[in-house]
A and B are shown apart, each in its own frame.
Chain A
């Protein structure tokens, strides 16, 4: 583990009131273990939630805060929590943390888990209390070996300190937490595929409804939240809704702060905790320092490989779901990619689409058989062996793999960058025609 992995965030200025997710990070990038975490007010939120708050109040507070899922889809967390059955006779319920961070160019959850494992545990503890779940699993991307080690050590520490296990803080509340490392499929980040994988089944997504809140892991009510989402929970509980809502920039419809980043040929690639609603230009110029000398920005993706390409002129867009939506794509994970003018879009897309085609689970036809066709056409174009009609065919494939046509969001995400690349850089594709 090195500081360079995450950019300059460990050395940047951060305060508890403005940087609830990252203020506890150490300057040296080492993990914050239990003692230090407690010194930094750690588990105070858990104490408040467990000892002073009714379960329904926690749910209400999260609902009121406007917290949305940070995994890419941006579904309101409180609403998701509210789907969990009210029927107290259903005693077996699960809380899952989606830590299968495999979106190309996204590595925010990794930083949180490697350096602040207790913050996730605290977030899960509070959430578990709110959702009346007595068992939790962190479904962790298999390659995240450092995160696995740190989380397991932190879980051991928390157990020893009575913060996990039986009768937590003397409240009679039990919560067991396990780290489950995945075997490495992108699709496991889809929450129902994650559930199947956790059960030992093929990682195919499930049809919804029934939603996991009704029938999730082993058929029981299940709530699946992303790592960063759960990291937001302690501060909301501790500092309240008004404070939380005050974090985002005016105009943003999304609340709180967000880990955002920029990579590519920028001067200082990294991630930063920033308020929702900052402009992409701020992120790109003020945080990432703009393009490295000698490179020119050609286009950028706002939040992962599954989001569409935008042009430099779109840097004025506000970084929140609605702001990015206005310029035609999705906020995604918030970790942006800068593409410079030396990069050929056909080659870039060929590379991306190979990834997406390979990571299809093989369940539904458009994704299983449509994505590889994209790849083959892109390879032909890349070699200058494209044939008349290829670009139109790609456009057809983009349309017919779009939202509502496939079983899950994998294929729509896969074709979104392709569709936008053709839209903005059609000439580069046409150059591949023989």
Chain B
């Protein structure tokens, strides 16, 4: 701590900060550009100048850049000093000599940090009368638009893209007033985290291209605090809506989870919400029905039948629980296959009963050795990959600290560290996009597990020994074990993406071994979908065990496409028997197409609910908009509402869940492990100063006109009974009162994402009201057993065993339905080892036919020097390949041209 005096007032601040961060954390408005809480200080823009005095008697003082000035005890500072103010106005004036003043046509307008800072400094009159420099823009792919003329050369983009996210294809070129930020040539930005450029850029150089097609200002959008459904990480998002369409997703700051950054799947993969082919009406055998008629007909059909329900890891806890209540626990399936469910249950068992705590996403960054076993994180849980990258770079801060260089002094840290990294080891089937910060081992899944078992043994020799490993692999395992033991806080990351139980068992052994050696270690296990862990906590039967159906049964399928999980034959067979198939979904899945009854389900944007992330964090997502406001006949409802309504109708009871809270409470009451979800967010009755929370910014415009093309009579705006939020700009939207659930980042004078400053305890730290979400899982610490070592991988002559290959773009079921994503999704392919290809006389890029006992597929063949012979990598979720781990391919034959 340090005491500093600013403009005559005395403050206590964190003494390890720089002065800018300290001032901002105190709520003082000091303008800045090049500084960013996650990127640190470089002192280039000179915008944050303040006056520093030698002592209380010094009246002259001197300008210092607050971002580069370490906070010192008894420091005398003025932000309001005239000379400092004049200088800060000069800086904006300089920036404006080249900035085009194209705010009216600029998509950054209205959430632009440059606009805010310009207003803040008071620069409002142009003295510069000469020409502006101009640049050519680049085509950077489907996600990010580029308009270099707006650039103010703050260097944040390259510092984020290269230094933070590890990208290599965005750079800075040129010099003097002709610096250019872009790629060497036009082309798709390679980083999986490119979308963050749109928020890192303080002005409109990098903007969200997916928003561009259907653009509107931030102040004209309606928002809700939401949770990304793209993977199991549970990043917090702020989706914006206008006219019943989702228009953009921005990061929502959660100091324990994603902080400032999202991945591109999460940010740009929302287009499925807006698809025009979504089911929006209740259908009975293809006939549209009113909701009342539908309920009556459905009740008739369901009476005296056994109801079977298939849940989903992409549906909320409330919806899954509503289905479970409707059909009864004995008839409820998680919707996961036997093998998926076993992996998930083992995962949960390791987290609940294992020895190590699971790491929050932010805490991942604080570890000093990371072992990633079997996961290609960039593809399966991308935001965790970005966090692991920061963990590796923690070494630089440690080295710098040894030289008394503060962690925020970004370039100095980089200079002294010279790319030094904490140890990261990735054991995977093929190359990953984190390999540049890691040592690697590539092997078949079973051998990855054996490597993991060996590491466990080298950590703690009471762990089972692995025999038959090569000396080279043993040496790698030993050296990895030593570096994990040498670390202050080692982190183990594993998961189920390869479909390997042995990998999870090996992870459990490593966890136990680390605990036995008394390491302050953590574990992070990746699960397949947004609510996989929630579903595991809720419990249910595997899919196969409820598919043994008879014609007397009625089957409910909740937001789950069974064709993605089981062979088409098996699903067809099961579905053909039931006369009443009820499918609740928001997309035209293959399963939905088979339904007699379609109940149009809400996506995350139209629904409230609770998810449990891979960390075990229960987080609530809130409805962004009410679709019926624009489409009065729209019948889209939350699945839990459909299911509870039906349940009540069948029982002849009045509907007793009228609020989300009732649905949440019912779930929490029924499942002790889920009791904590009640506290994941405030209840519907929550008010600040007697007000609901506004979903719309104060300046939301057109409310009385936007519906005029439907009807000139303006209806009452939708009333949100379910939550504490209002579909309105009326309501609390300030920063003074504590609130965790923030629909959009805005504070007076702060319209850009920098407004998060105003909600945080310390800028870049945590929300003042506490970071959203409740952790449901703490390890019992009970002594677990050792898992025994699995058998080594044995290639089988003439056959190929499939391994799943995950893709950030394509493997996520919903994001893959997003039109803008299509060009980033690889075409159907299979990958085999170069050795196998040579043996079969197949070349890279050949069109081949794959045959298994049940199916035949035509794909492009890719070759890998890393994949083990006998394996065939098949991309998950890419159309035409319903891939399961361990699928046997009997033959690969070149297609005759």
Contact = CB atoms under 8 A, between A and B. Distances in A.
Range, interface on chain A: 35 or more
Contacts of B62: 404
Interface stretch (B39-47, B469-477, B480-488, B730-738): B39-47
A369 B94 contact: yes
B87 A405 contact: yes
A215 interface: yes
Contacts of B130: 373, 376, 380
Contacts of A404: 62-64
Contacts of A364: 43-46
Contacts of A406: 46
A172 interface: no
Given A215-B416, A400-B87, A358 B44 contact: no
Interface string A364-393: 111011111100100010000001010001
B176 A360 contact: yes
Nearest to A392: B127
Contact of B94 (A215, A366, A389, A407): A366
Contacts of A376: 130
A206 B405 CA distance: 14
B415 A219 contact: yes
Contacts of B175: 185, 360-362
A160 interface: no
A359 B176 CA distance: 6
B83 to A, nearest CB: 10
Interface string A203-230: 0001101100011001100000000000
Interface in A342-364: 357-364
A369 B98 contact: yes
B412 A206 contact: yes
B42 A207 contact: yes
A374 to B, nearest CB: 11
A423 interface: no
Contacts of A185: 175
Contacts of B97: 369, 372-373
Interface string B758-791: 0000000000000000000000000000000000
Range, interface on chain B: 35 or more
Contact of A368 (B42, B129, B179, B405): B179
B174 interface: yes
Given A207-B43, A215-B403, A393-B127, A362 B179 contact: yes
B128 A373 contact: yes
Given A361-B175, A405-B87, A366 B46 contact: yes
Interface in A400-426: 400, 404-407
Contacts of A206: 411-412, 415
Contact of B63 (A210, A214, A362, A405): A405
B677 interface: no
Nearest to A195: B415
A38 interface: no
Interface string B98-125: 1000000000000000000000000000
A219 B417 contact: yes
B127 A357 contact: no
Contact of A407 (B43, B47, B63, B153): B43
A209 B87 CA distance: 23
B719 interface: no
B108 to A, nearest CB: 19
Given A218-B418, A364-B45, A400 B90 contact: yes
A372 B176 contact: yes
A214 B127 contact: no
B95 interface: yes
Contacts of B566: none
A415 B90 CA distance: 16
Contact of A207 (B45, B46, B403, B411): B411
**Most A CB within 10 A of own CB, among B47, B49, B95, B127:** B127
Contacts of B179: 362, 368
A292 interface: no
A149 interface: no
Given A215-B412, A369-B97, A389-B127, A407 B405 contact: no
A11 to B, nearest CB: 41
Contacts of B91: 365-366
B409 interface: yes
A110 to B, nearest CB: 24
Nearest to A387: B129
A219 B49 contact: no
Contact of B177 (A219, A369, A380): A369
Contacts of B45: 364-365
A40 interface: no
B176 A358 contact: yes
Given A362-B153, A365-B91, A373-B97, A210 B44 contact: no
A219 B411 CA distance: 11
B197 interface: no
B178 interface: yes
B172 A202 contact: yes
Contacts of B412: 206-207, 209-210, 215
A383 to B, nearest CB: 12
B503 interface: no
B68 interface: yes
Contacts of B155: 363
Given A373-B94, A393-B127, A405 B46 contact: yes
Nearest to A361: B175
Given A214-B403, A366-B94, A373-B97, A360 B177 contact: yes
**Most A CB within 10 A of own CB, among B64, B153, B176, B409:** B176
Nearest to A377: B130
A362 B415 CA distance: 20
A387 B732 CA distance: 51
A372 B129 contact: no
Given A365-B94, A366-B94, A407-B46, A210 B405 contact: yes
A202 B415 CA distance: 13
A360 B174 CA distance: 11
Nearest to B176: A360
Contacts of B43: 207, 364, 407
A357 B176 contact: yes
Contacts of A368: 94, 153, 176-177, 179
Nearest to A407: B43
A407 B411 contact: no
A299 B47 CA distance: 36
B312 to A, nearest CB: 51
Contacts of B42: 207
A357 B411 contact: no
Contact of B95 (A357, A365, A393, A400): A365
A362 B158 CA distance: 14
A357 to B, nearest CB: 6
Nearest to A358: B176
Contacts of A405: 46, 49, 63, 87
A380 B153 CA distance: 26
Contacts of B411: 206-207
Interface in B372-431: 403, 405, 409, 411-412, 415-418
Interface in B330-381: none
Contacts of B152: 365
Given A219-B415, A357-B176, A210 B90 contact: no
Nearest to A214: B403
22 contacts: A202-B172, A206-B412, A206-B415, A207-B412, A214-B403, A219-B417, A357-B177, A361-B175, A364-B43, A364-B45, A365-B94, A365-B152, A368-B176, A368-B177, A370-B90, A373-B128, A380-B130, A387-B129, A393-B127, A396-B90, A405-B63, A407-B43
Given A361-B176, A400-B87, A400-B90, 14 more contacts: A202-B172, A209-B405, A210-B416, A214-B403, A215-B405, A219-B417, A362-B177, A363-B44, A365-B152, A366-B90, A368-B179, A369-B94, A373-B128, A407-B44
Q: Which 6 A-B pairs have the closest CB atoms?
A: A369-B94, A362-B179, A376-B130, A360-B176, A215-B416, A219-B418
